[in-house]
Amino acid sequence: MNAINELPASRLNDELARVFALQQARKIELRETSAGQRLEKLMRLRAAVIAHKADIVAAAYADMRKPQVEALLGEIMPVTQAIDLARKNLRRWMRPQRVRTPINMLGTRGAVRFEPKGSTLIIAPWNVPVFLSFVPLTSAVAAGCTAMIKPSEMTPALAVVIRTIVAECFDEAEVAVFEGGPEVAQALLTLPFDHIFYTGNPEIGKVVMRAAAEHLTSVTLELGGKSPVIVDESADIESAAERLAWGKLLNGGQICVAPDYVLVHESRKDELLGALTRQMELHATAKDGKAPELTRIVNTRHHTRVQGLLDDALARGARVVTGGQSDAADCFIAPTVLTDVSPDSKLMHEEIFGPLLPVLSYRDLTQALELINAKPKPLALYAFSRIKANVERILRGTSSGGSTINHVMLHGLHPNLPFGGVNNSGIGKSGGFYGFQAFSNERAVLHQVSRISFTRWAMPPYSPRMIRILDRFVR
């Protein structure tokens, strides 16, 4: 059902419009659903994800040669964790939040009510499609919204599993999945949704935002960028190398918050390069260096792109410290550390999204911060340091969607922290309450509960006494 890629092109818009109309009608009903009713749906989704665990693992391997551990960690666990968090907290999240009453509002009672935005569109990426379809869907259902989901065509096996799970759990008038290529996404973006949740790169994010502007639709954009790492003179180098290698190679480096480049204090550069070499070589355990447990680059087009970044860097004088092997037929590039990378290379300007890690040195922290601030604001920033003043200076002197200190990427897994970017790396936050909030309208409601109201003294004719009272309030 809703496999748009199987429909003739002439029927595409008609089918999308049909389901959209169903969801427009259903969204009105969903406004009055209770926390219990929404949680019942989420628990059905959770049970279906667990029931299809083997299918998700197999599809992830078919699409990207993703190891079972990474499929469990990166696709399934975030979904069950998000639903479990909603199960524990949704009743509290939905409760109207009382606000304090200032003196000029005596006689009133104010509160913020969270009401569903309505019909929503979720456009998921190819790198972790189950995660980034079902975690936003969890937020949408928790908020009381309908949803149309467009998974990426670049991971077709996982898209089929996503569609199957949704069909088992929801009526299409509430949640529906539409497979297909860019033409499906473009057609969906012409519809007047109440909210769009998009995960992907900044260039397509601009396309989504332009389309949303046509209907004044609110957006949550989780984009990307070049997430930097600072390793200062005090860092535990062995620990930093181990954690950097984990973050760089998880999902084959195809994660929006993966460490993108490293700035290391010049006094520790050689030590870090040695430690990174040992860590990267642990991941290339096969005799042919093919790293059997490294997720492959998603397709040949992206392999060509990542290979192009490597070739350009080498042509501009970069040196491979470890790795560098490549096999286009296998969509494989070995875990690779580079140094002496030119600031003008594409590697330092484009998001890598692959297992390449450039390492640059800096003399003092000011130089490192200037280099970071010369680029668009990243989705994440990481620092390895045992000097509190340095950590504070890094956090104050830069801007990023989120940060992890003395590790990488973990802030994105913390259920009670907001996740998202800033400017070029994204708009809006998600995860836990912040995801519920993204799919909700925060409606201000004020009750006049007594006969006392300042407006009785603020009506014409305006007396000198009224002017004196207002002047006192102003001051």
User: Position 305: which residue type?
Assistant: R
SS3 277: helix
Least confident of 216-225, 290-299, 364-373: 290-299
Tell me: the pLDDT tens digits for 282-298? 876 544 556 677 899 99
Q: Confirm whether 222 is a catalytic residue.
A: yes
Q: What residue spans define the domains of the chain?
A: 4-223+426-443, 228-418
By residue count, the chain amounts to 475
256 is catalytic: yes
Q: Which residues have a Cβ under 8 Å from the Cβ of 88 and sit 6 or more positions away?
A: none
The active-site residue, picked from 75, 222, 331, 351, is 222
Mean pLDDT of the 256-277 span: 97
Among 330, 349, 394, 359, which residue's Cα sits nearest to residue 248? 359
Among residues 145, 169, 256, 331, which one is catalytic? 256
Count CA atoms closer than 13 A to 302's CA, side-chain side.
21
308 pLDDT more than 90: yes
Exposed/middle/buried for 235, CB within 10 Å: 0-12, 13-18, 19+?
Answer: buried
User: Token pair of 101, please?
Assistant: 């009453």
pTM for the whole structure: 0.93
Phi/psi of residue 112, each to 5°? Answer: -105, 125
Q: Residue 371 has what pLDDT?
A: 96
Q: Which fold has domain 228-418?
A: Aldehyde Dehydrogenase; Chain A, domain 2 (3.40.309)
430 Cβ partners below 8 Å, 6+ apart? Answer: 135, 136, 139, 197, 220, 222, 418, 419, 420, 438
pLDDT tens column, 394-417: 999 999 999 999 999 999 999 899
CATH classification (class only), 4-223+426-443? alpha beta
- pLDDT at residue 474, as a whole number: 80
